[in-house]
Homo-oligomer: A and B are copies of this chain.
Amino acid sequence: MSQMDERIRSYVLFFKALSNSTRIAIIDLLRRGGDKTVSEIARELGFEQSRVSHALRCLTFCGFLTNRREGKNKIYSLNRETIEPLMEIADKHIEAYANHLRRCEVLRR
């Protein structure tokens, strides 16, 4: 990764941010259910709070989420400008190729 064309490097980071189940589950949850606090996300997804915090940190840093504090809570929101059209394309592609994606050996089990 160190010695890689800058454009390619950016693409890799962009897609890598979205290619983890914790992170994409959070995006999917917020896309469907709107803004949520950390503990709401953790509870609704059944994930440990620290796992969620790590994921939120990455997604926020990379520009996919924003947050605002409200008392003891922190509320996370989607950057819908990127996420909405992106997920629509993903949905459409998956509709056509889900079986193939699932059976791809390179992207293991």
Complex copy number for this chain: 2
Chain A 1-36, CB-CB to B under 8 Å as 1, else 0, gives: 110110111111111111111001100100000000
Q: Could you tell me if B104 and A58 are in contact, using CB atoms closer than 8 angstroms? A: yes
Q: Could you tell me if B90 and A11 are in contact, using CB atoms closer than 8 angstroms? A: yes
Complexed CA–CA distance, A15 and B9 (Å):
15
Contact surface of A with B, Cβ cutoff 8 Å: 1-2, 4-5, 7-21, 24-25, 28, 54, 57-58, 61-63, 82, 85-87, 89-90, 92-94, 96-98, 100-104, 106-109
Chain B residues near A96: list those with CB within 8 A. 63
Complexed CA–CA distance, A39 and B42 (Å):
47
Say which residue of B10, B86, B102 sits within 8 Å of A10 (CB atoms): B102
